[in-house]
Structure 1
Amino acid sequence: MLTDTAIRKAAARDKAYKLSDSGGLYIHVTPAGGKHWRLKYRFGGSEKLLSLGPYPAVSLAEARKARDDAKSALRDGKDPGILKKLYKLTKAQHSEDTFEVVAREWFALNKSKWIEHHADDVIRSLENDIFPLIGSMPIRDITAPLVLAALRLVEKRDAADTARRIRQRVSAIFVFAISSGKAETDPAAVVLGAMAPVSKGRLPAITKLPEAKAMLKKVEGEVAHPVTKLAHRLLALTALRPGVIASTPWYELDAIEDDLWLVPAARMKLKLAQKRDEARDHFVPVTKQVREVIEALRTLTGRGPMAFPNQRHAHKPMSENAIGYLLNRAGYHGKHVPHGWRSTFSTHMNETFPADRAIVDLMLAHVPKDRVESAYNRALHINRRKELAQLWADIILEGAPPASELLKGPRR
Structure 2
Amino acid sequence: MSDTVMPAQILTDAKVKNAKPRADRKAHKLTDGNGLYLLVQANGTKCWRFDYRFGGKRKTLALGTYPLVKLRDARDRHDEARLQLLDGRDPGQEKRRKRAEAVVTDTNRFSSLARDWWEQQKGTWTADHADRIWGRMENDVIPHVGHLPISEIRPQDIIEVIRKIEGRGSLDVASRVQQDIRRVCRYATHMGLLTNNPAGDLGGVLKSRKRSHRPALGREELPGFLQELETYELRGRVLTKLAIKLLVLTFVRSGELRGALWDEFDLKNAVWRIPAERMKMGTPHIVPLSRQAIDVIEAIRPITGRYSLMFPSERRRTECMSDNTMRRAIFKMGYDGNTPGKSKAVPHGFRATASSILNEEGFKPDAIERQLSHQERNGVRAAYTHQAEYLEERARMMQWWADYLDDAQASGVIRSSA
TM (norm. structure 1) is 0.56
- Are residues 397 and 267 of structure 1, via their aligned partners in 2, closer, same or farther at CA, if it must alter by over 3 Å? farther
Q: How far, CA to CA, are the matches of 2:350 and 2:248 in structure 1? A: 6
Q: Corresponding residue for 1:282?
A: 286
Q: Corresponding residue for 1:250?
A: 262
Higher relative contact order (CA 8 A, sep 6+): 1
**5+ residue gaps in structure 2?**
1-10, 17-39, 47-63, 79-97, 413-418
Q: Corresponding residue for 1:166?
A: 177
Displacement of 1:184 in angstroms is 11
**1:233 maps to which of 225, 242, 245:** 245
Q: Corresponding residue for 2:124?
A: 116
- Are residues 271 and 238 of structure 1, via their aligned partners in 2, closer, same or farther at CA, if it must alter by over 3 Å? closer
* Residue type of the alignment partner of 1:261: V
Q: Does 1:132 align with 2:139?
A: yes
Displacement of 1:346 in angstroms is 2.8
- Are residues 228 and 93 of structure 1, via their aligned partners in 2, closer, same or farther at CA, if it must alter by over 3 Å? farther
Q: Corresponding residue for 1:347?
A: 356
Q: Does 1:302 align with 2:305?
A: yes
* Residue type of the alignment partner of 2:352: S
After superposition, give the CA deviation of every residue in 1:216-238 in whole Å (9 maximum; x if it has no partner).
55674896555444322211111
Pairs within 5 Å for 1:4-403: 4=13, 58-59=73-74, 91-93=102-104, 100-107=111-118, 111=121, 116-117=124-125, 123-136=130-143, 138-139=145-146, 140=148, 147-150=162-165, 155=170, 160-161=171-172, 163-173=174-184, 180=193, 192-193=205-206, 195=207, 197-199=209-211, 202-208=213-219, 210-216=220-226, 220=232, 226-253=238-265, 255-258=266-269, 260-264=270-274, 266=276, 269=279, 272=282, 274-275=283-284, 282-288=286-292, 290-310=293-313, 313-320=316-323, 322-324=325-327, 326-327=329-330, 330-332=335-337, 335-352=344-361, 354=362, 363-365=371-373, 370=381, 377-378=389-390, 380-381=392-393, 384-385=396-397, 387-398=399-410
- Are residues 136 and 380 of structure 1, via their aligned partners in 2, closer, same or farther at CA, if it must alter by over 3 Å? same
* Residue type of the alignment partner of 2:291: T
Q: How far, CA to CA, are the matches of 1:132 and 1:394 in structure 2? A: 47
TM (norm. structure 2) is 0.56
* Residue type of the alignment partner of 2:306: R
- Are residues 391 and 132 of structure 1, via their aligned partners in 2, closer, same or farther at CA, if it must alter by over 3 Å? same
Q: How far, CA to CA, are the matches of 2:264 and 2:105 in structure 1? A: 46
Q: Corresponding residue for 1:29?
A: none
Displacement of 1:138 in angstroms is 4.8
RMSD (Å), alpha carbons: 5.3
Displacement of 1:212 in angstroms is 2.6
**How many pairs were matched up?**
322
Displacement of 1:399 in angstroms is 7.4
The percentage of aligned residue pairs carrying the same residue is: 19
State the secondary structure of the residue aligned to 2:336.
helix
After superposition, give the CA deviation of every residue in 1:150-208 in whole Å (9 maximum; x if it has no partner).
456683xxxx445423333235546777994799976x959945x461415x5442232
After superposition, give the CA deviation of every residue in 1:249-300 in whole Å (9 maximum; x if it has no partner).
01224x4215x1331452674755x54xxxxx51422423x34432443344
After superposition, give the CA deviation of every residue in 1:325-384 in whole Å (9 maximum; x if it has no partner).
5545641499444232122223323434x3676665565456676377667655525773
Q: Corresponding residue for 1:14?
A: none
- Are residues 364 and 217 of structure 1, via their aligned partners in 2, closer, same or farther at CA, if it must alter by over 3 Å? same
* Residue type of the alignment partner of 1:249: L
Displacement of 1:94 in angstroms is 5.7
After superposition, give the CA deviation of every residue in 1:48-72 in whole Å (9 maximum; x if it has no partner).
xxx968x798447969xxxxxxxxx
Q: How far, CA to CA, are the matches of 1:184 and 1:358 in structure 2? A: 37
Q: How far, CA to CA, are the matches of 1:213 and 1:392 in structure 2? A: 10
Q: Would the aligned equivalents of 1:204 and 1:340 in 2 still touch at CA under 8 Å?
A: yes
Q: How far, CA to CA, are the matches of 2:211 and 2:45 in structure 1? A: 66
Q: How far, CA to CA, are the matches of 2:273 and 2:178 in structure 1? A: 30
Displacement of 1:89 in angstroms is 8.2
- Are residues 298 and 189 of structure 1, via their aligned partners in 2, closer, same or farther at CA, if it must alter by over 3 Å? same
State the secondary structure of the residue aligned to 2:268.
coil
Q: Corresponding residue for 1:409?
A: none
